Amino acid sequence: MTQLPSAAPTIATEPGQTEPAFRLVAVAIEARILSGDIQPGDTLPSETNLAETLGVNRSTVREAIRALEQNGFVRRETGRKKLFAAVPQSRDISRRLKTAMVLDHVTFEELWEAMFALEPAAARSAAQRRTDDDLAALDANLAQMRLALHDSDVLTDLDIAFHHLVALATGNRAIQAARLPISELFYPPFLAVISRLNAAERLLFAHEKIVEAIRDQDSRQAQDWMEKHIQDFQRGYELANLDMGTPAALPRAGHDKQ
Amino acid sequence: MTQLPSAAPTIATEPGQTEPAFRLVAVAIEARILSGDIQPGDTLPSETNLAETLGVNRSTVREAIRALEQNGFVRRETGRKKLFAAVPQSRDISRRLKTAMVLDHVTFEELWEAMFALEPAAARSAAQRRTDDDLAALDANLAQMRLALHDSDVLTDLDIAFHHLVALATGNRAIQAARLPISELFYPPFLAVISRLNAAERLLFAHEKIVEAIRDQDSRQAQDWMEKHIQDFQRGYELANLDMGTPAALPRAGHDKQ
């Protein structure tokens, strides 16, 4: 069990403070995790224990813990008694960013431009750092796609999975974090359009070329083929006579929990 | 004042539910904001009012409101009585993502690779969409930089501001959101290194070339010069004999509130 935040005694009754007490408790605990004093996975003291030691109400501690849970700094076991220090997960943050972009009416053109920057860079990095496991996963994806050329729903899922596998093969968490929310807004509706154009063979061919380049560790070719591939997405949208200025939407509004 | 969530009557006593009641209340309100039923800026009913209508304790409502505040879906006036619907801000989310990357020990190499993808793309888009105001801001930044060539602190700030202005000129919120947390981890320490190398004139020259291309709406040149510029960052790091595999750090750990 970790030690309590050292700022504890002053938390309860700072005069003229603008932040509520629960916020100060949360920030103190968070600072200890950020500094490495408390390690992810460490058990935190119980709510009662924290309340006593910090000299604040249990309700204040509970609100602080909720805030830390929301931010991903605290997780609890299913039994709901024990609290653990944690680190915020990129996937949770990505979900928030996706929501913010939708509420901001970000357009498909903006998403496409960002993908046109990030996906070729991901393919280039993947060619430099891919492991045998990465190649096996990409090959499996290609094999499944060859069997699903006439099923546009399966094709869409496999395409999304393909780009995700390329991103994984980069071993670059900054690129992964940057592209995740954008890709999740971008691919599903784009692919819905493209599947109408009977472009499945063209899609598969591009993927095969990209995997070949990644296998050969030819980062130039991997980048170039991915660039062509992402350009094809835009062309498909234009061929379908759709407006790239349309704002993106969440796949199923309201189902995407924050 | 907006209507209450329609899912209200079932919230309090769903048997076998795995989510706490406050979470269901929060999700219901959030769904209404996401769907556009409740608009950002709309007043929400009071805590007491919500508790009565939803048939849950005030403490449950309070926890739900806290969760929504944490996620950026609810804001309150300084007086702390009135609650307003809101949309999550990219800047808040960026701060979380920055923290997550640091806790994940993301390296400078990963950040550099992501910047090498995003910054040239930003320059290209900026050349396509820059306004007169964007140009005026970039020109002012160049003018200030010419006066600060021997002050490495000011130079660092101006360089960060320069790249931020280029991103603003893109008018692309997806690119802006993707690059913000990465740029804030990347530039300060890199520039600290580069300022040691007496490379200020070279930095200014690259910025001048980028602005010239953006002014001329020459997206190819803007992209190429930005690419050279970001490559220079890497070269600077190598010249200073530093390890790109070092994990990034928050500028001042613990000061960066979530």
Q: Does B64 touch chain A (CB under 8 A)?
A: no
A88 → chain B, closest CA residue: B100
How many Å separate Cα A254 from the centre of its chain? 18
Mean pLDDT of A154-177: 94
Q: pLDDT tens digits, residue range B126-183? A: 999 999 999 999 999 999 999 998 888 888 889 999 999 999 999 999 999 999 999 9
Question: Across chain A, which distance is largest between two alpha carbons, in Å?
Answer: 69
Residues of chain A contacting B96 with CB distance shorter than 8 Å: 71-72, 88, 93, 96
CB-nearest partner of B30 from A66, A88, A258: A258
Interchain pair A114, B121: CB under 8 A? yes
Q: Which residues contact A113 (CB under 8 A, 6 or more apart)?
A: B121, B125, B170, B172, B174, B175
% of residues, chain B, pLDDT over 90: 40
Q: Which of A21-35, A152-166, A234-248, B49-63 has the highest mean pLDDT?
A: A152-166
Q: Does B249 touch chain A (CB under 8 A)?
A: no
Q: Six-digit token pair at A93?
A: 């943050």
Q: pLDDT tens digits, residue range B34-48? A: 777 888 888 888 888
Interface with B, mutate which of A47, A57, A97, A109 (most B CBs under 10 A): A97
Q: How confident is the model at residue B255 (pLDDT cuts 50, 70, 90)?
A: very low
Flag whether pLDDT at A15 surpasses 70.
Answer: no
Interchain pair A257, B27: CB under 8 A? yes
Interchain pair B97, A59: CB under 8 A? no
Flag whether pLDDT at A6 surpasses 60.
Answer: no
Residue B107's beta-bridge partner residues?
Answer: B247
Interface confidence, given as ipTM, is: 0.77
Q: What would the CATH number be for the domain defined by B8-85?
A: 1.10.10.10
Flag whether pLDDT at A63 surpasses 90.
Answer: no
Q: pLDDT tens digits, residue range B94-125? A: 888 888 898 888 999 999 999 999 999 999 99
Q: Does B172 touch chain A (CB under 8 A)?
A: yes
Interchain pair A34, B172: CB under 8 A? no
Tell me the shortest Cα–Cα distance from B27 to chain A, in angstroms. Answer: 7
Q: pLDDT tens digits, residue range A74-122? A: 888 766 678 888 877 777 788 888 888 988 889 999 999 999 999 999 9
Q: Six-digit token pair at A47?
A: 């709510």
What sign does the CA torsion over A26, A28, A31, A36 have? negative
Q: Does B247 touch chain A (CB under 8 A)?
A: no
Whether the Cβ atoms of residue A34 and residue B254 lie closer than 8 Å to each other? yes
> What phi and psi, each to the nearest 5 degrees, are found at residue A81?
-100, -55
C-alpha distances in angstroms, B36 versus A105, A224, B33?
12, 41, 5
Look at residues B191, B177, B190, B192 and name the one whose alpha carbon lies nearest to residue B98. Answer: B177
Residue B84's beta-bridge partner residues?
Answer: B43, B75
Interchain pair A97, B120: CB under 8 A? no
All CATH 1.10.10.10 domain ranges of chain A, comma separated, are: 8-85
Q: Six-digit token pair at A116?
A: 């046109």
Interchain pair A34, B101: CB under 8 A? no
Residues of chain B contacting A178 with CB distance shorter than 8 Å: 114, 118, 178-179, 182
Interface with B, mutate which of A96, A182, A252 (most B CBs under 10 A): A96
B185 → chain A, closest CA residue: A174
> What phi and psi, each to the nearest 5 degrees, are found at residue B160?
-60, -45
Residues of chain B contacting A122 with CB distance shorter than 8 Å: 117
CB-nearest partner of A96 from B62, B88, B250: B88
Q: What would the CATH number be for the domain defined by A91-239?
A: 1.20.120.530
Q: Does B189 touch chain A (CB under 8 A)?
A: no
A59 → chain B, closest CA residue: B59
Whether the Cβ atoms of residue B99 and residue B60 lie closer than 8 Å to each other? no
Q: What is the pLDDT of residue A5?
A: 44
Interchain pair A35, B253: CB under 8 A? yes
All CATH 1.20.120.530 domain ranges of chain A, comma separated, are: 91-239
Burial A50-70 (b: 16+ CB within 10 A, else e): bbeebebeeebbbbbbbbbbb
Q: Does A72 touch chain B (CB under 8 A)?
A: yes
C-alpha distances in angstroms, A82 versus A48, A69, A89, B22?
12, 13, 20, 20
Residues of chain A contacting B181 with CB distance shorter than 8 Å: 177
Q: Does B5 touch chain A (CB under 8 A)?
A: no
Interface with B, mutate which of A57, A95, A104 (most B CBs under 10 A): A104
Angle CA(A22)–CA(A25)–CA(A28) in degrees, nearest 5?
150
Question: Per-residue DSSP letters for A92-142?
Answer: HHHHHHHHHHHHTT-BHHHHHHHHHHHHHHHHHHHHHH--HHHHHHHHHHH
> What phi and psi, each to the nearest 5 degrees, are found at residue B106?
-60, 135
How far is residue B18's CA from residue A76's CA, in Å, rounded to a whole number? Answer: 13
* A45 DSSP assignment: P
Q: Six-digit token pair at A45?
A: 């003291």
Q: What is the mean pLDDT of chain A?
A: 84
Interchain pair A106, B174: CB under 8 A? yes
Interchain pair A178, B182: CB under 8 A? yes
Flag whether pLDDT at A7 surpasses 60.
Answer: no
Residue A229's beta-bridge partner residues?
Answer: none
Mean pLDDT of A36-50: 84
Name the B residues in 80-119 with CB < 8 Å from any A CB: 87-90, 93, 96-97, 99-104, 106, 110-111, 113-114, 116-118
Whether the Cβ atoms of residue B227 and residue B116 lie closer than 8 Å to each other? yes
C-alpha distances in angstroms, A211 versus A123, A155, A156, A171?
9, 17, 18, 16
Interchain pair A100, B89: CB under 8 A? yes
